[in-house]
Amino acid sequence: MGKLISPDLLSPPSTAIFTITGVSIFMSAGLDLGTCFWGIACLEFLDFLSDSLMEEISALVHRHPHKLYMETIGSQNKGYRAEMTVVTYCLNRTEIDDKLKYRVLLSFGQHGRELITSELALKILSILSEEQFLPNMDPIILRGTLERLVIKVVPMENLNGRKLVEEGDLCERRNGRGVDLNRNWSVDWGKKEKDYDPYEENPGAAPFSEPETQMMRKLCLSFEPHIWVNVHSGMEALFMPYDHKNTTPDGSPSQRIRLMLEKLNHLHCKDNCVVGSGGGSVGYLAHGTATDYMYDIARVPMAFTFEIYGDRTASSKDCFKMFNPVDHTTFNLVLNEWSAAFLAMFNMSTHQIDELRSKTSDSDKLVSIEDYMNGYLMEMTSRYGKKKEVLELGMQEIRTYFRLFVLSSVLLMFMFCSRISKSSRPIVSGMPL
């Protein structure tokens, strides 16, 4: 997620050896990481990494058709085309449409240079399909949690940007036409801070101008997740809204979510993860992010951004080392620790939502007209298999129009009452003195 905020002089590259996607590509080739950074000798190996990873995921799905389902979606805008693979997990696939289950949406690889995030997607899917297991994980508790969930995984949101990295541009975070996908969402879109970097943070021509964000928005609106996690690297953090301001949402639900993240930090980050709002913790404000949209517009109850790895000692020009582990031990440690963290988060989050639902059903408190409209619109779309086209414009726009309607109605009513008041006054005829 992190943008490069302090350019350094070029430093000598690491001599560690990098392995990825279950195959020791560079180890077997006798190439070190420095070769990848400073030359083109290893690019022929890098060229097929994303393809290899997606092939492994596809094979995994085919081995477990009773639990996993995979689909590829595509979108095009002004000659630029993008595709995205979505893997759906349900312990019993016949129950995939069960509305009583909690729905989880996970996105990996939104920034091309953060290769480790897509590796975590594969690891989590391998655990969900029971081809891999984690030590110290109670299988009974895990199964009890997974029975309540439907999980959609986007292993590589920004495939075109990933291809640019594999072609040698190791610092590239944007999509295939130079737009930062985590600045292309509608909440506070286009606002530029003093430290705005037009290369790193290009928000696009308009909100949802990019096919990748269009596909993710449609996926969210059709799936209606209870939990959203946008997975990045660049540091170690457990972020909740907001990214565009340095505060977290008000209210006790937000406080309970923060306590949950602090517990997760203690159990799985050894208290090394930053916890709080992205805007208040990462060192800069980010406008037009996916997580702020998921929370503010899509009304996902639990929306997070997880940062799973970062090497703060790396030069800002040594992007591969900054965003990805470069040795076997760290690579496996990151995947194991964060897989465990996600599984624990699933368990904690379902209990949090249970409590929230229980308190909501037991209370008769009044809600604001805006919250009522949001709830009505989301409920209205739930009655149908497909979303209403009007929602494709975005909930934020609908709320804006509704506010204008209410304001104009109040003004008209005031003018009407004023005119009635004037017309009802007694007429006093003028009398000469």
SS3 labels along the chain: CCCCCCCCCCCCCCCCCCCECCECHHHHHCCCHHHHHHCCCCHHHHCCHHHHHHHHHHHHHHHCCCCEEEEEEEEEECCEEEEEEEEEEECCHHHCCCCCCEEEEEECCCCCCCHHHHHHHHHHHHHHCCCCCCCCCCHHHHHHHHCCEEEEEECCCCHHHHHHHHCCCCCCCCCCCCCCHHHCCCCCCCCCCCCCCCCCCCCCCCCCCCHHHHHHHHHHHHHCCCEEEEEECCEEEEEECCCCCCCCCCCHHHHHHHHHHHHHHHHHCCCCCEEEEHHHHCCCCCCCCHHHHHHHCCCCCEEEEEEEECCCCCCCCCHHHHHCCCCHHHHHHHHHHHHHHHHHHHHHHHHHHHHHHHHHHHCCCCCCHHHHHHHHHHHHHHCCCCCCHHHHHCHHHHHHHHHHHHHHHHHHHHHHHHHHHHHCCCCCCCCCC
> Do the domain assignments include residue 191?
yes
Mean pLDDT over 200-219 rounds to 97
Count of structural domains, the chain: 1
Query: For residue 40, what pLDDT is reported?
Result: 34
Mean pLDDT over 11-21 rounds to 38
Query: For residue 426, what pLDDT is reported?
Result: 53
What would the pLDDT profile of 256-296 be if each residue is shown by its tens digit?
Answer: 999 999 999 999 999 999 999 999 988 889 999 999 999 99
Mean pLDDT over 364-376 rounds to 44
Whether the Cβ atoms of residue 118 and residue 84 lie closer than 8 Å to each other: no
> For residue 307, is it left (φ>0), alpha (ψ between -120 and 50) or beta?
beta
Query: For residue 148, what pLDDT is reported?
Result: 96
- Mean pLDDT over each residue of the chain, to the nearest integer: 82
Tell me how far CA of residue 46 lies from CA of 21, 41, 84, 148, 169, in angstroms. Answer: 11, 10, 20, 38, 11
Higher-pLDDT residue of 46, 169: 169
pLDDT at position 195 over 80: yes
pLDDT-derived band at 49, boundaries 50, 70, 90: confident
What would the pLDDT profile of 371-426 be if each residue is shown by its tens digit?
Answer: 444 443 444 343 333 344 334 445 555 655 566 677 778 778 877 777 776 665 55
What would the pLDDT profile of 302-316 be if each residue is shown by its tens digit?
Answer: 999 999 999 999 988
> Do the domain assignments include residue 299?
yes
CA-CA distance, 112 to 131, in Å (whole number)? 27
Return the active site residues: 307
Q: What is the pTM of this model?
A: 0.78
What would the pLDDT profile of 142-192 be if each residue is shown by its tens digit?
Answer: 999 999 999 999 999 999 999 999 999 999 999 999 999 999 999 999 998
CA-CA distance, 375 to 373, in Å (whole number)? 5
Query: For residue 34, what pLDDT is reported?
Result: 42
> Do the domain assignments include residue 394?
no
337: CB partners within 8 A, 6+ apart:
268, 269
> Do the domain assignments include residue 142?
yes
CA-CA distance, 392 to 389, in Å (whole number)? 5
**Domain containing residue 105: CATH number:** 3.40.630.10
CA-CA distance, 264 to 49, in Å (whole number)? 31
> Do the domain assignments include residue 323?
yes
> Do the domain assignments include residue 25?
no
Bridge partners (DSSP) listed for residue 238: 275, 306
Mean pLDDT over 190-210 rounds to 92
> Do the domain assignments include residue 113?
yes
Q: Which two tokens stand for residue 131?
A: 């081809």
Give the structural domain span for 182. 50-361
Whether the Cβ atoms of residue 334 and residue 235 lie closer than 8 Å to each other: no
Bridge partners (DSSP) listed for residue 304: 229
Residue whose token pair is 């999509």: 175
Residue type for position 198? P
CA-CA distance, 272 to 241, in Å (whole number)? 20
Instruction: Please compute Rg for the chain using Cα positions.
Output: 25
Mean pLDDT over 199-225 rounds to 96
Q: Which two tokens stand for residue 412?
A: 């008209």
Query: For residue 282, what pLDDT is reported?
Result: 85
pLDDT at position 342 over 90: yes
> Do the domain assignments include residue 376?
no
> Considering the chain, what percentage of its residues have pLDDT values greater than 90?
64
pLDDT at position 8 over 50: no
